[in-house]
Structure 1
């Protein structure tokens, strides 16, 4: 569904196949490689290594699974502090609890919703004085914006924490010529159905450490030791990506550059059509960044726009257009009511004002204009 007819619902980010995926899946069926491992999984991993420039990749069932394995490989044990951006999807923090870690949520900067590195550095200095540095810091490349890897690598080396880059939303995004996640100890990728490319459901764990990724593959297949029977000296998980899903991923990677180009063009068109409205802000790009623009977001300041993001969201819904608020900050989630937060007011304001607009790469310019028209009409008459 693309929304070409006014009766069609425009979805936020629908899957967009390139055509070659069907042939690759047929190849899997023809060779009967339906099991959780197989040649398409190997091929997908090699393709991801080339894309990201990160030396080793394990293809997994989800980005959440990848984060869980990364935290285990780092050695997180009950009581360890794990800091991370407060504005993220819950799958980007829930695995902390799987291992008994203690989440601490750090506020974001106001423009691109990335972890506030200045605030993070000040908090790390204070934690060092107190002898309470985190074991891990997780950054989140929200909506395809890419964190400053040079800055983060420097902080990780200075303060001795493991840096996990949650690049689940930033596949195909770059900063200073390096793919999202490059430079981290571990990078998390996602290929969920609504991502910029998809394997229907899936993810990957990437690292420059080959031994760690070999260990991740072992743990992701129930930690079965070499033996003719089932022998286990530790517990593992059923986290491996299937060969069928990997075939879809191999095909999707061939059109990734086109998908990024189209989403960036959609963002540019939104900027042209509604960027001049009073009280409306679109996220910029930092110098050296090439965001994948997975989702175009707007901020609506009620004092200037005369309306708020919820009124706009409901008007879009009534017009057959899917939109959603930005991620609700983790420090404001009931499940984390007792967690420590470092700042949080910026994320709270962004959540209150922020709205994700339909950004799927199959959208036409007419679809974008239809979305923008609802926003313009509402704010113009507010």
Structure 2
């Protein structure tokens, strides 16, 4: 058979098209490494310092003092540890009341409850999504008349936005109530031109893996009061007193930040301004590309503050044509995109069933309709377009 005829009689070849690889998942707020972490870790390990002591934690504390404007800083194992020590240094005791914003993560109030304190949850302002100063003023006046002022007020910075700490601090100062600010989510934010946390008796920060600056974990307690941080430092080191043996006048905790994590955090901190700029740019692109859709609104930025936009938060209103929060979250998840409802208010949590509160409907509405979108500072335009495309398709 001629070769040409043999070729013509050969069965057709069905070429298999290569199967498209699924797109990589988009996470809510993954760590964004600078490239300097590995050399910093190597240098720390080679130095022999790995415990919560030595040059790395001290350098990290000094850099944090500069970033926050609070001159006395203690690096710790977590933001929760920082809050716990803050409560302890304020003398919180069993039966004391602690007031905090209901729209927050449980770590804000958990250490106080574990110490025997009684929580009271206050609603937030629609202007900032943080503790409502007007409500706080009314509640403090009522408590003063009843002779039942709280032992501490703990405002919360939310999703990269500072609370109105000037107003809150002035109100609490009028009645002599100390302020411990939960600034875990707001490193790099400002309130009236000053770094978040300034103006509180103490401020707690977090360097968890999803934060704008991460050490893989860790936290810090900061203050303008040297004596408070000195007391916290002693408690974080098992309350050991100076002596050739182990001497303890009280009990403490093992809350120090390891040198290894401090080295990571120190490297990350140098990129803080760039990280803030990147997240704010992501927020603006979301707002530009989604803001024309019916029923969608973005977390506002009050005139007195500048948010880091650690997380871009939106409100979805089905009555105005938007999908419900869960419908949007599930559609994003089906596309490999992580999103998260805004914090479930503490007064709605089963753990605090029956706890006293003032208001709560504003925070409850935000939870019902609010969704946090992927906001990692390393997000590409293509990744942002995937998120935008899913939401526009709904």
When the two structures are superposed, what TM-score results if normalisation uses the length of structure 1? 0.96
Secondary structure of the residue aligned to 2:231 is helix
**How many Å apart are 1:112 and its aligned residue?**
2.8
The one of 329, 341, 345 equivalent to 1:313 is 329
1:101 maps to 117
* 1:47-102 deviation line (CA, Å, top 9, x unaligned): 00011111200000011100000011000110111000001111111011121111
Q: Whole-Å Cα distance in 2 between the matches of residues 213 and 78 of structure 1?
A: 23
The one of 269, 288, 291 equivalent to 1:272 is 288
Q: Whole-Å Cα distance in 2 between the matches of residues 346 and 285 of structure 1?
A: 17
**How many Å apart are 1:186 and its aligned residue?**
0.5
Q: Whole-Å Cα distance in 1 between the matches of residues 321 and 82 of structure 2?
A: 41
Paired residues for 1:169-208 under 5 Å: 169-208=185-224
1:340 maps to 356
8 Å CA contact 1:165, 1:186 repeated in 2? yes
* 1:105-138 deviation line (CA, Å, top 9, x unaligned): 0011124310111111111111111111111000
List gaps (5 residues or longer) in structure 1.
none
Task: Quote the RMSD (CA, aligned, Å).
Answer: 1.0
**How many Å apart are 1:156 and its aligned residue?**
1.6
- Runs of 4+ with deviation above 4 angstroms: none
Secondary structure of the residue aligned to 1:140 is coil
The one of 78, 89, 95 equivalent to 1:73 is 89
Secondary structure of the residue aligned to 1:77 is coil
Q: Whole-Å Cα distance in 1 between the matches of residues 297 and 347 of structure 2?
A: 24
List gaps (5 residues or longer) in structure 2.
1-20
Greater Rg over alpha carbons, structure: 2
The reply to whether residue 140 of structure 1 matches residue 153 of structure 2 is no
Secondary structure of the residue aligned to 1:70 is helix
Alignment: residue pair count = 374
Q: Whole-Å Cα distance in 2 between the matches of residues 219 and 306 of structure 1?
A: 50
Secondary structure of the residue aligned to 1:137 is strand
**How many Å apart are 1:6 and its aligned residue?**
5.4
Secondary structure of the residue aligned to 1:162 is coil
2:6 maps to none
**How many Å apart are 1:288 and its aligned residue?**
3.1
2:4 maps to none
**How many Å apart are 1:231 and its aligned residue?**
1.7
The reply to whether residue 122 of structure 1 matches residue 129 of structure 2 is no
**How many Å apart are 1:300 and its aligned residue?**
0.4
2:38 maps to 22
**How many Å apart are 1:306 and its aligned residue?**
4.5
Q: Whole-Å Cα distance in 1 between the matches of residues 22 and 199 of structure 2?
A: 46
The reply to whether residue 233 of structure 1 matches residue 249 of structure 2 is yes
8 Å CA contact 1:106, 1:343 repeated in 2? yes
**How many Å apart are 1:24 and its aligned residue?**
1.2
Paired residues for 1:245-284 under 5 Å: 245-284=261-300
* Larger CA deviation: 313-322 vs 120-129: 120-129
